[in-house]
Structure 1
């Protein structure tokens, strides 16, 4: 859909209010009143057969009485009437509508039927719909306010929200801030027609919008949204707050990956992968969006801190480190120049503490800021302390100099192409009590915050967006060349009515697709177990049960390790089969897989894929082994992944020290892991029949890796359901 198709609904030149009213308590009145009060320049047509005029505007009895086509209908009538209203819109040439009423799909089966009827009428008549169950929309640059919010400030931040209260919270916060302006807001409602991804495409071409905030509870089509997000974030930043962080999501007991694929953990990975700047607290959403709208992105994560006290300097340094930002090493020239303007007690290392050197002359602060931003190793500046309050703290005679310093600093982001963010303890005062220099700083386009952590969070957002170029530098190519072994395996599974791909089948399929998993032999009796031991020529082997009815082999006693001779291989086979029969009633046993024991050492990791209900196939990486679901140190990305995606996954798990080697151990081979993950992504992309894939554990060494277990499940089919009930969870 072309973004211009939403112009009529988000930037209308004429509006019909269906269900207009003279009752001030009703939306049909407040909408007309608000359009008039705000100076909306377009035509307004109240529709109500019982009224002659509303707010001095002539009222029409029905949509059919309109003098001609109208861009947008605001539908204020009850849910049961909406389908017929949409049909009337279509008949009169009204091509878009905002449907306020609730009581649709969110209210149960009866409401879903009403929504289906509305959608059918819309599709039949070519009418696009916001909602239903929406708080409405506004466009400040058109003075088109169909929500009723007061005192909206024009600006460049677009807003999409599935919560009317969340939108009101952000609008109220912007009003309290006094400097943040919004462009267009949409309460997306039930997304019966227009979806999140379409709104993003609209905002991408909207000249009045430079940044978008999206509050998301759930997505109708996650894959399409990710595609739109990738397109959008190449041009403009988007700040997303995804609710449901503590939700268990879609839990599956079939694999570790499925069990760990909670809704938020998946969303966090795939949204960041697609270019979103993620907010984790509601009070950081607007500050992050404001910083992104005002300032250039960071070219790197190297920052300088300029503080007027050791306490704030230390706290700021800690906060930067915790957010993955770095203190830039200052050149000798920079340190010399700082020492020339500051007292001897000052710290001219980074963080810079002026140690009272600005108390008598705030212009020294501007001089220090300029020196720091001229250093090529410094890509951004965080000012922290009592800046803006020197006149209030020491003497009103400093006010003129402090304002002069503010004006100089206010020009620096444009002069140097580097962001500046200010933390000032005086910003915590009520708006009418804040010192004039802080107001001047805000007018100059420099974000000012009372919370040092919020200021640092804004810098992190600027760093994250600055790195987007590398994220999209190499999109995954369309790779082919996968063998046909897995096609035959899938055909066999369908013929037998099973979802479980047996491990020897999975190993053969991955080997055929170019992955080296090492030798593995299937023994169907104790004699073949002896022969397998001889053939492999290993000092010791591992043996495990192969059965469509047993996924969790260890729990069923189906695994023996460190088998060192043929006698143990024979007895091991018999013991494994006996344990399997004791654990599961009448199991279908294919045999026992015999593989060489992996080399000692290595770090246990997991690579898995699961099909998420919203985002489709997603890959998981993290620390593996038997404790994977306890540690939960995992990250996710949507398929297909690039090599860059794989490296960022390795970088994001908490246990970096484990991958880097502990107690003198060698670091894991990240290149081998990344290449392996990309190959698994290719494999799953080539075969949509795969529902879940678990490779756990994988032993990651300093010079390669070894896959110890392969588990693949196919998507459900009608022929498999009866079989699954009998033992797939055993």
Structure 2
């Protein structure tokens, strides 16, 4: 049994209902009714000083009057009563209280004060609180149902939801399916006491939970949540649906990274990094959890398709490719074995189309499945078409054969340890409409779907969870590295009350932190010094950029000149750059002009940035850079500190990742150099929480090495002036 601190709350041997009622429309009645109907074997204590009994159970005037112990208290009374009720819970020795009432922090300042008072009492009395403003909890394995949902089926899927209606939707879908069973449900509520991460840790240890569904709208502490997610996904899969995917970007952001970090892309990146399987549609959530709770994860993305028609075979191949899965290359031996039992018209290269070879004898499906699963290049099998409905489509005499075939195929799950998923056009969501062979194979542990695209999405989830299981844990490679140079920069910024790290300072700090900065850069405070820098660099041509605490976007104010190739041009460029800065910004504090050699031609423009997300803390962005970055938005995010595996995955996940591999005869970019750069940035930003935003845009990625063309660092505002 689990030793988690929340175990006794969700496996209570006794339950008290404060606010018990005879009114059949109230939770104080329905909760007791459901406990009795579902066969809860523990003690039930209704609390109502005005009643003597409810539903045949003796009523008590208060918690203190109960003669026995109480593990869990369901509180159905108004918000204002809670501090007093929680204190009574503590005196009674109750482990937890489920608080249904609203009117707390979500209702304004008065509600916040009331919630804080309730939590203070709970902490003093050692009572843990679920909620408030929760829909309740249930545990089917304990028959503890104080939510009031009907027809709950025992199973291995745990539910965490910040929406009662979303939970009801999933429970209703599970009931309609007929095969999907649930373990424990928790309505998160306000998280006044027990936090989201604690529920994840509980599910990680709960022996009756095989997979977890989490519906998330927001979280109190994103960093703690991510850490808990990493812990549980090392053991069990978590299907997570994050709502609020279309939120607007932060208008106050001063960098490209900040402007791009305000939408769902951040959540998507960091949650997947932590191991969650993300559901993108609400109607796929339960199906993903079902597949993950039943099947072993894929050892790779190589999948075989077994179809009884060319149409489904082609659609399956397309869907697998679109989802990032791979059609396994079948060995010559496998193809020869298939040819020996299928008609000449059959396609025996993946996808396999039996071409009518099963019409008279569906048992051949099992023979083909065995051959495919024995191929070492195949790590998963997708059966698609009208399997299970041959008795409906052709002759009822085929149904007994399909029943035997279903049992044979299901046995292969254990024999080969590879996942099998069935798509059937007879695989209705509603179990009572499915032909018996499909019910048979589902009861034996093979999931069945009536949507081919959904079946493929579930196969992808098995691949993603397998990759999470094999992913190396974060280690010293992602640790923070203090930079003495940046310590000096910070001291200067604090002394001068500024949030902008000047570019020459940023370059020095990055180099000191181990970030490769191959091109030298010289700060000039006069035209004469600019010419001297040009001659010292002995490089033709050079780039020149304004350096000012008051000017962040240099090119927007005419503060950049490229391909400057002579002393006269350098002198003129310096004067023009400074004049433009003063023209566009009132009384700017101009430190000087940075002179640096022009980067070699060619290369792919990249942007790498870091922003302090208000939910998840420091996150890194990677994508195609340049002036169109905010239009194309081809970027991905990860939480810091980064691992090398994280960095490599970021390179592969942008939509234009093939550009990094070289297109139209171009050489591949130096991905190892990009990864080293990203790891250096991760180490610096992890060490210095003072960094609010960092932009390297553009970075030119070459076939050998990288060149940082512009470096921008902004600090947390501690009363400094705001740049333009």
Q: TM-score, normalised by structure 1?
A: 0.97
SS of the equivalent of 2:4 reads: helix
Q: Deviations over 1:656-679 (max 9, x none)?
A: 222122221111111110111011
Q: Quick check: 1:662 aligned with 2:663?
A: yes
Instruction: Answer whether contact 2:449 2:455 (CA < 8 A) is retained.
Output: yes
Q: Which residue number corresponds to residue 229 of structure 1?
A: 229
Q: Which residue number corresponds to residue 514 of structure 1?
A: 514
Q: Which residue number corresponds to residue 151 of structure 1?
A: 151
Q: Which residue number corresponds to residue 296 of structure 1?
A: 296
Work out the CA distance in 1 between the residues paired with 2:669 and 2:627. 20
Q: Quick check: 1:336 aligned with 2:326?
A: no
Work out the CA distance in 1 between the residues paired with 2:98 and 2:480. 45
Q: Which residue number corresponds to residue 63 of structure 2?
A: 63
Q: What is the 5 A alignment of 1:17-416?
A: 17-416=17-416
Q: Which residue number corresponds to residue 671 of structure 1?
A: 672
Work out the CA distance in 1 between the residues paired with 2:3 and 2:532. 66
Instruction: Answer whether contact 1:98 1:129 (CA < 8 A) is retained.
Output: yes
Q: Which residue number corresponds to residue 634 of structure 1?
A: 635
Q: Which residue number corresponds to residue 469 of structure 1?
A: 469
Instruction: Answer whether contact 2:179 2:431 (CA < 8 A) is retained.
Output: no
Work out the CA distance in 2 between the residues paired with 1:368 and 1:252. 60
Alpha-carbon deviation of 1:557?
A: 0.8
Work out the CA distance in 2 between the residues paired with 1:120 and 1:26. 28
Unpaired segments of 5 or more residues in structure 2? none
Instruction: Answer whether contact 1:633 1:655 (CA < 8 A) is retained.
Output: yes
Work out the CA distance in 2 between the residues paired with 1:67 and 1:715. 58
CA pair 220-640 structure 1, distance change in 2 beyond 3 A: same
Alpha-carbon deviation of 1:470?
A: 3.2
Q: TM-score, normalised by structure 2?
A: 0.98
Alpha-carbon deviation of 1:107?
A: 1.6
Alpha-carbon deviation of 1:479?
A: 4.2
Work out the CA distance in 1 between the residues paired with 2:199 and 2:155. 18
Instruction: Answer whether contact 1:306 1:351 (CA < 8 A) is retained.
Output: yes
Instruction: Answer whether contact 1:476 1:640 (CA < 8 A) is retained.
Output: no
Alpha-carbon deviation of 1:384?
A: 0.3
**Please, which moves more after superposition, 647-656 or 92-101?**
92-101
Q: Which residue number corresponds to residue 454 of structure 1?
A: 454
CA pair 191-538 structure 1, distance change in 2 beyond 3 A: same
Alpha-carbon deviation of 1:715?
A: 1.1
Work out the CA distance in 2 between the residues paired with 1:665 and 1:307. 40
Work out the CA distance in 1 between the residues paired with 2:440 and 2:278. 30
CA pair 258-451 structure 1, distance change in 2 beyond 3 A: same
Q: Which residue number corresponds to residue 424 of structure 1?
A: 424
CA pair 664-547 structure 1, distance change in 2 beyond 3 A: same
Instruction: Answer whether contact 1:213 1:240 (CA < 8 A) is retained.
Output: yes
Q: Which residue number corresponds to residue 530 of structure 2?
A: 529
Alpha-carbon deviation of 1:149?
A: 0.2
Alpha-carbon deviation of 1:402?
A: 1.1
Instruction: Answer whether contact 1:482 1:512 (CA < 8 A) is retained.
Output: no
Aligned residues: 722
Q: Deviations over 1:188-238 (max 9, x none)?
A: 011111011101111111110111110000011111111111111111111
SS of the equivalent of 2:554 reads: coil
Work out the CA distance in 2 between the residues paired with 1:655 and 1:335. 35
Alpha-carbon deviation of 1:687?
A: 1.2
Instruction: Answer whether contact 1:96 1:128 (CA < 8 A) is retained.
Output: yes
Instruction: Answer whether contact 2:249 2:260 (CA < 8 A) is retained.
Output: no
Q: Quick check: 1:505 aligned with 2:505?
A: yes
Alpha-carbon deviation of 1:68?
A: 4.1
Q: What is the 5 A alignment of 1:587-606?
A: 587-606=588-607
Alpha-carbon deviation of 1:562?
A: 0.4
Instruction: Answer whether contact 2:176 2:429 (CA < 8 A) is retained.
Output: no
Q: Deviations over 1:127-152 (max 9, x none)?
A: 10000000000000000001000000
SS of the equivalent of 1:428 reads: coil
Alpha-carbon deviation of 1:388?
A: 0.2
Alpha-carbon deviation of 1:252?
A: 3.5
Q: Deviations over 1:162-192 (max 9, x none)?
A: 0001100110110011000000000001111
SS of the equivalent of 1:509 reads: helix
CA pair 484-642 structure 1, distance change in 2 beyond 3 A: same
Q: Quick check: 1:549 aligned with 2:550?
A: yes
Q: Deviations over 1:383-414 (max 9, x none)?
A: 00000011111111111111111110011111
Alpha-carbon deviation of 1:92?
A: 2.2
Q: Which residue number corresponds to residue 696 of structure 1?
A: 697
SS of the equivalent of 1:142 reads: coil
Work out the CA distance in 2 between the residues paired with 1:364 and 1:251. 62
Instruction: Answer whether contact 1:157 1:182 (CA < 8 A) is retained.
Output: yes
Work out the CA distance in 2 between the residues paired with 1:64 and 1:469. 49
Work out the CA distance in 1 between the residues paired with 2:389 and 2:629. 52
**Please, which moves more after superposition, 247-256 or 636-645?**
247-256
Q: Which residue number corresponds to residue 626 of structure 2?
A: 625
SS of the equivalent of 1:244 reads: coil
Alpha-carbon deviation of 1:689?
A: 1.1
Instruction: Answer whether contact 1:249 1:264 (CA < 8 A) is retained.
Output: no
Instruction: Answer whether contact 1:251 1:260 (CA < 8 A) is retained.
Output: no
Instruction: Answer whether contact 2:383 2:423 (CA < 8 A) is retained.
Output: yes
Instruction: Answer whether contact 1:426 1:434 (CA < 8 A) is retained.
Output: yes
Instruction: Answer whether contact 2:481 2:684 (CA < 8 A) is retained.
Output: no
CA pair 481-38 structure 1, distance change in 2 beyond 3 A: closer
CA pair 462-515 structure 1, distance change in 2 beyond 3 A: same
Instruction: Answer whether contact 1:3 1:198 (CA < 8 A) is retained.
Output: no
Instruction: Answer whether contact 2:481 2:683 (CA < 8 A) is retained.
Output: no
Alpha-carbon deviation of 1:480?
A: 6.0
**Please, which moves more after superposition, 523-532 or 397-406?**
397-406
Alpha-carbon deviation of 1:11?
A: 1.3
Work out the CA distance in 2 between the residues paired with 1:714 and 1:603. 28
CA pair 430-75 structure 1, distance change in 2 beyond 3 A: closer
Q: Which residue number corresponds to residue 682 of structure 1?
A: 683
**Please, which moves more after superposition, 545-554 or 92-101?**
92-101
Q: Deviations over 1:291-344 (max 9, x none)?
A: 111111110100100000000000000000011000001111000000000000
SS of the equivalent of 1:667 reads: coil
Alpha-carbon deviation of 1:515?
A: 2.0
Alpha-carbon deviation of 1:473?
A: 4.6
